[in-house]
Amino acid sequence: MIEDTKSGPLAGVVVADLSRVLAGPYCTMMLADLGATVIKVESRQGDETRTWVPPERDGEGTYYLAVNRGKHSIALDFADPDDRALLGRIVERADVVVENFKPGGLARFGLDYETLSAQNPALVYASITGFGSRGGADLPGYDLLAQAVSGMMTITGSADGGPTKVGVAIFDVIAGLHAVTGILAALRTRDATGRGDRIEVNLLSSALSGLVNQASAYVAGGVEPQRMGNAHPSLYPYEPFPARDRDIVIAVGNDAQFARLAAVVGLPADERFATMRGRNLARGDLRAALIERLAARDADEWFALLRDAGVPAAPILGVGGGVELAAELGLEPVVLAGDVPTIRNPIGFAHARADAPSAPPALDGDRDAVREWLDRG
């Protein structure tokens, strides 16, 4: 059953989700988490990520489970007149449409922005592409391609190694978040003017935005960033260091933190290390001095001492360790979506509350519920 009485900041907002894979579904899951009613419209074959296994849970890819909680699934064939009519009814009820088809791909079905906005001027229409709707319109929108062409792979990995991708489709996630931001802004404007808008987000623009200081190094400083392994181009010390038993990460962001680090590990005074610029210029000597002193204790001992002294430091954990640490810190990282464990939405509110999320839907599992909801008007 599709409830008309959901709670949350976006309660009452209806989203027709025509997207698949990651960037779009991540966006619409965020909206569902905030209380929106999200109708996930899939092909008869379903979202590709349902079959991206291993790993899996009860035959469903955990990739799919990661970004589809709180939605209602209906499978439709856009080429089928009856299915297209049913989709038209869903879109009529929608405040927001989210799609990630190739630019122009929905026009032949009458599902493009121009057609739908003429029918519903208050509609917010969000398009997510790989490389925009101009010169890159025909390029496939895969995160790995965006990592390759944006420069991400040239700054990731060891200095003497080859280009390396990040361990997650990071630009899909960033593009999804940018789409959420644009949708919320358009909804606010609509509330004031009664007019919807079109939001366009692409992976490459999101990638360059997400490269922040590295992209700024090029456009503002004329510097082409290079791979530095785990080191930082502007901060030092800011990388893993070997302790007696294993590595520990030390992340010094200012001179006061370094002074506390030097006191804890017993570094002798050296004016070269007093400023960030000096530490960067002398990082080879400073690294050697730190390694020599850190060898005296195990990583856990150093972590406790540095934490007590207010020096940013951390052990290197696996994903499971990260989830467990978040739980220990009271962050409650895991939330059940139905009976499926998922990672909690990181946004917290002092007053607003949303309903507990429903499980990621089975393919076409809500067809009858969607029809009944449409008939209720």
Q: Which residues are annotated as catalytic?
A: 172
Rounded Cα gap, residues 258 and 260, in angstroms:
5
What are φ and ψ of residue 68, in 5° steps? -135, 15
Instruction: Compute CA distances 93 → 45, 90, 112, 186, 359, whole Å.
Output: 25, 5, 16, 17, 23
| Tokens encoding 223 | 């510097």
- Interior/surface letters 105-129, b for 16+ CB within 10 angstroms, e for the rest: ebeeeebbbeebbeebeebbbbbbb
Rounded Cα gap, residues 330 and 333, in angstroms:
8
Contact 220, 211 (CB under 8 A): no
C-alpha angle with apex 355: 351 to 356, nearest 5 degrees?
120
Enumerate the H helices of the chain as residue ranges.
Answer: 23-33, 62-66, 81-93, 113-119, 143-150, 170-193, 203-210, 212-219, 255-265, 276-281, 283-294, 299-309, 319-328, 367-376
Contact 198, 96 (CB under 8 A): no
